[in-house]
Structure 1
Amino acid sequence: MSHVPLNIPQIKAIVFDLDNTLVSSDMDFQWLREQLGCPSSQDLLSFIDQIDCQKTQANAHSLVLQHELEDAEKSNPMPGCKSLLNFINSNNLLTAIITRNCSEAANTKLSHNKITIPKVITREHFPPKPAPDSLLFLANEWQLDSSEILYVGDYLYDLQAAFNAAMPSCLVTHGKHTPFTAHASLIVEHLSDLEATISKHY
Structure 2
Amino acid sequence: MPLCTSSSLQPHNLMLNSHLQPLTRALFRSKLTTMSNQSTSSSIKSRIRGVVFDMDGTLTVPVIDFPAMYKAILGKDQYFSIIASSPSGIDILHYIEQMTPDNQQKAYQVIADFEKLGMDQLQIMPGAQDLCSFLNSRNIRRGIITRNVKSAVDFFHERFGMSFSPALSREFRPYKPDPAPLLHICSTWGVEPNEVIMIGDSLKDDVACGKRAGAVTCLLDETGRYDSPKYADVEHKPDYKVSSLAQFHSLLESNFDLTP
CA RMSD across the alignment: 2.3
User: Are the equivalent residues in 2 in contact too, given 1:69–1:108 (CA < 8 A)?
Assistant: no
User: Are the equivalent residues in 1 in contact too, given 2:53–2:145 (CA < 8 A)?
Assistant: yes
CA, structure 1 residues 58+175, in 2 after alignment: closer, same or farther (shift >3 Å)? closer
User: Are the equivalent residues in 1 in contact too, given 2:48–2:196 (CA < 8 A)?
Assistant: yes
Mapped partners of 2:223, 2:67: distance in 1: 23
Instruction: Give the drift of 1:161.
Output: 0.6
Is 1:24 matched with 2:61? yes
Mapped partners of 2:146, 2:248: distance in 1: 20
Write out per-residue CA displacement over residues 42-87 of structure 1, whole angstroms, 9 at most, x where no aligned residue: 52111112212x2332222122112112102212111110000111
Mapped partners of 2:59, 2:45: distance in 1: 20
Q: Which has the larger radius of gyration?
A: 2
Mapped partners of 1:173, 1:33: distance in 2: 21
User: Are the equivalent residues in 1 in contact too, given 2:53–2:143 (CA < 8 A)?
Assistant: yes
Mapped partners of 2:222, 2:57: distance in 1: 9
1:89 is matched with which residue? 136
Is 1:123 matched with 2:170? yes
What SS class does the counterpart of residue 116 from structure 1 fall into? coil
What SS class does the counterpart of residue 61 from structure 2 fall into? coil
Instruction: Give the drift of 1:108.
Output: 2.2
User: Are the equivalent residues in 2 in contact too, given 1:102–1:123 (CA < 8 A)?
Assistant: yes
1:100-111 matched pairs, under 5 angstroms = 100-111=147-158
2:248 is matched with which residue? 194
User: Are the equivalent residues in 1 in contact too, given 2:182–2:213 (CA < 8 A)?
Assistant: yes
1:160 pairs with one of 188, 205, 208: 208
Write out per-residue CA displacement over residues 6-27 of structure 1, whole angstroms, 9 at most, x where no aligned residue: x854100001000111101222
Is 1:37 matched with 2:70? no
1:10 pairs with one of 39, 47, 72: 47
What SS class does the counterpart of residue 107 from structure 1 fall into? helix
Is 1:151 matched with 2:186? no
Q: What is the one-letter code of the residue matched to 1:21?
A: T
What SS class does the counterpart of residue 178 from structure 1 fall into? helix
1:61 pairs with one of 84, 88, 108: 108
Mapped partners of 2:45, 2:56: distance in 1: 24
1:177 is matched with which residue? 225
**Matched residue count:** 197
- What runs of 5+ residues in structure 2 fail to find an aligned partner? 3-43, 83-89
Mapped partners of 1:92, 1:8: distance in 2: 18
What SS class does the counterpart of residue 15 from structure 1 fall into? strand
What SS class does the counterpart of residue 192 from structure 1 fall into? helix
| Identity between Structure 1 and Structure 2 (%) | 25
What SS class does the counterpart of residue 36 from structure 1 fall into? helix
| Larger RCO (alpha carbons 8 Å, 6+ apart) | 1
| TM-score, length-scaled by structure 1 | 0.87
Instruction: Give the drift of 1:101.
Output: 0.6
User: Are the equivalent residues in 1 in contact too, given 2:166–2:185 (CA < 8 A)?
Assistant: no
Write out per-residue CA displacement over residues 151-199 of structure 1, whole angstroms, 9 at most, x where no aligned residue: 0111112111111001110111114231458811111111111112222
1:67-82 matched pairs, under 5 angstroms = 67-82=114-129
Mapped partners of 1:14, 1:71: distance in 2: 24
